[in-house]
Amino acid sequence: MIEPRHLLLPALACVASFSFAQADLEGKLKKLEEQRTAIEEQQTRLTSRVDSVKLAIIRRDLERIGLPKLEAGEELVVHPGHILVYSEKHEQPKWTAHIASPDLIKGNLARIDSFLPDPLVKTGTAVTADYWYSGYDRGHMVPSADMRWNFDALQGTYYYSNISPQVAELNRETWADLEDWVRRYVNFSKRRVFVATGPVLRDGLPTMQKADRKNEVSIPEYFWKVIADLDGDNPKAIGFVMRNAKQDGPPVSYAVTVDSVETLSGLDFFPALDDAVEARIETMREIKDWYGEGDPNHGEVEPLRAPLPKGMFNSVQAKYHIGKTATVCGTVVSSRKTAKAQAIYLNFDRTHPNQDFYATIWSYNGPNFSYDPETWLVNKKICVTGKLTIFDDIPRISINNEKEVMLYEEAIR
- Which residues does the annotation mark as catalytic? 140
- Which of these, 169, 331, 161, lies nearest to 242 by C-alpha position? 169
Type of residue numbered 244? N
CA angle 172/177/182 to nearest 5° reads 135
Paired with 139 in beta bridges are 164
Say how many residues make up the chain: 413
Could you give the CA distance from residue 218 to residue 221 in angstroms, rounded to a whole number? 10
Residues 6+ apart with CB under 8 A from 38: none
CA angle 156/157/160 to nearest 5° reads 95
Residues 6+ apart with CB under 8 A from 215: 91, 124, 125, 126, 127, 130
Calculate the alpha carbon distances from 5 to 10, 12, 15, 57 in Å: 10, 11, 16, 78
